[in-house]
Amino acid sequence: MSIVQVTSDNIAREHICCAMSDKKVQRGVSLKKEWLACRFQEGLVFKKLDAKGKVFIEYLPAENAWVPIDAPNYMFINCFWVSGSYKGQGYGAQLLQECIRDSEGKAGIVAVSSHKKRPYLSEKSYYVKHGFEVCDTAPPYFELLVKRFDPNAPLQRKCQTAGRCRR
């Protein structure tokens, strides 16, 4: 299966999955598409498997991320999800590779995760398996992970959740 990039030009006809759907599903998907369309102008990239499953990645320059991190010249993974029968088939690695390729010229990639599985956060173990390391924490749950392309690039250490940060 191929990877599709969802853009302003094709968002109306592309299937996107949304975990934040209501019982009728369509309202949540419609709101997600509206939100994505606004974020594309901020540099958000949404790539997905050309399938009807939950297999996608969202990322954008960290300077434009809407989470409390400070990671200039890094790409930020906002959401990364591979579910159900699609797990273990290499689709996640393929999507992550797309993000790495699109991050050329950046110092690296950052993502927020947790020491244990939490709703709406990608699994830390997957990131670690692919070369990410914890560079900061925001108790009680959050961890900032980084994959540096330049070994001399500074590790980002500003993860502010609920006004607290541990260095």
Is it the case that residue 18 has pLDDT exceeding 80?
no
The pTM assigned to this predicted structure is: 0.86
Q: What is the pLDDT at residue 110? A: 95
Do the Cβ atoms of 145 and 111 come closer than 8 Å? yes
Residue where the block lists tokens 């591979």? 82
Q: Quick: pLDDT tens for 39-81.
A: 999 999 999 999 888 899 999 999 999 888 888 999 999 999 9
Of 66, 62, 63, 95, the closest CA to residue 76 belongs to 62
Domains of the chain and CATH, by start? 3-148 (3.40.630.30)
Q: What is the pLDDT at residue 115? A: 83
Identify the three-state secondary structure at position 74.
strand
